[in-house]
Amino acid sequence: MTQAYAAGARGSWEEPASHARSGPEAGVLSAITDADCSIAVWQRPVDAVVHTRVKALAASERLELRLNLTPAQLKHDLLASITAKSFPLGARDPLLNDIERLGRHFEAIASTLDVPQAVTLRLETLRDDGCRRFHVDRVHLRLLCTYLGPGTEWLTEDQVDRDALATHLPNEAIVRRGVPQRLEPFWVAIIKGERYPGAAGRGQVHRSPPIAAAGAARVLFSLDI
């Protein structure tokens, strides 16, 4: 069963958000195709093996991978695409296995859309505040999974001042009330962007969490179409 929800900045639960869906099973991600849904979240637990692997990789080197893929490559040839970049993930690497799993879920949803089927994959270590201003992505759909560090922050619809957003005002004007919601590590979210059919002016508002002042780091995986 899925539920509408708004997760608080540290995972607490607030009043339901009608445009959001969440659940403990991967099937909840398909709710993103509902007309009234702009964010779907699979609230999966931390995988200890993958977490240990990510921490080791992040400590030894800066993870930096960007690939442009077809859906067929995402579904069937992700290992070959990654190893062609001399990236330090082998066929049995637990992180790669998890990335492949998320890629299959994303491809299954993206393949139902009548949009250009080009996918951008990113796996990166972030040590700055990135996109600190709240915004909507100029994509159709984006999958997000933070493996290490604070997760992406997002706003419920009644928290957003869309006029302030459109006129490039600062966050203090965009956030009408309360604190931003935050995804927990290993949670998987698919969000609608500005280019999703019928979502112009209604895409999911979000931002990268501020981390630079605390000297924190994040390992973020994303897929865009």
pLDDT in tens, 151-178: 999 999 999 999 999 999 999 999 999 9
Mean pLDDT of the chain: 86
Residue 14 CA neighbour count, 13 Å, CB half: 19
Helices (H), the chain: 48-60, 71-76, 78-83, 94-110, 162-166, 171-174
Q: CA-based diameter of the chain, in Å?
A: 48
Report the C-alpha gap between 28 and 194 in whole angstroms. 21
Flag whether pLDDT at 219 surpasses 60: yes
Flag whether pLDDT at 40 surpasses 80: yes
Between residues 217 and 187, the one the model is more confident about: 187
Flag whether pLDDT at 12 surpasses 80: no
Report the C-alpha gap between 185 and 10 in whole angstroms. 11
Q: Are 2 and 22 in contact (CB under 8 A)?
A: yes
Q: Which of 173, 178, 220, 183 is nearest to 204 (CA)?
A: 183
Number of neighbours of residue 95 by Cβ within 10 angstroms: 23
Beta bridge partners of 125: 219
Q: Which of 130, 225, 144, 148 is nearest to 185 (CA)?
A: 148
Flag whether pLDDT at 47 surpasses 50: yes
Instruction: For the chain, list the domains and their CATH numbers.
Output: 20-224 (2.60.120)
Prediction pTM value: 0.89
pLDDT above 70 covers a percentage of the chain that reads 90
Q: Which two tokens stand for residue 102?
A: 């998320």
Report the C-alpha gap between 115 and 124 in whole angstroms. 26
The whole-number pLDDT of residue 54 equals 92
Flag whether pLDDT at 131 surpasses 80: no
The whole-number pLDDT of residue 15 equals 42
Q: Which two tokens stand for residue 92?
A: 């049995």
The whole-number pLDDT of residue 82 equals 78
Express each pLDDT in 82-122 by its tens digit.
Answer: 777 767 676 678 998 899 999 999 999 998 888 767 899 99
Flag whether pLDDT at 191 surpasses 90: yes
The whole-number pLDDT of residue 109 equals 94
Q: In a 3-state reduction of DSSP, which class is residue 196?
A: coil
Q: Is residue 202 classed exposed, middle or buried when 0-12, 13-18 and 19+ CB atoms within 10 A define those classes?
A: middle
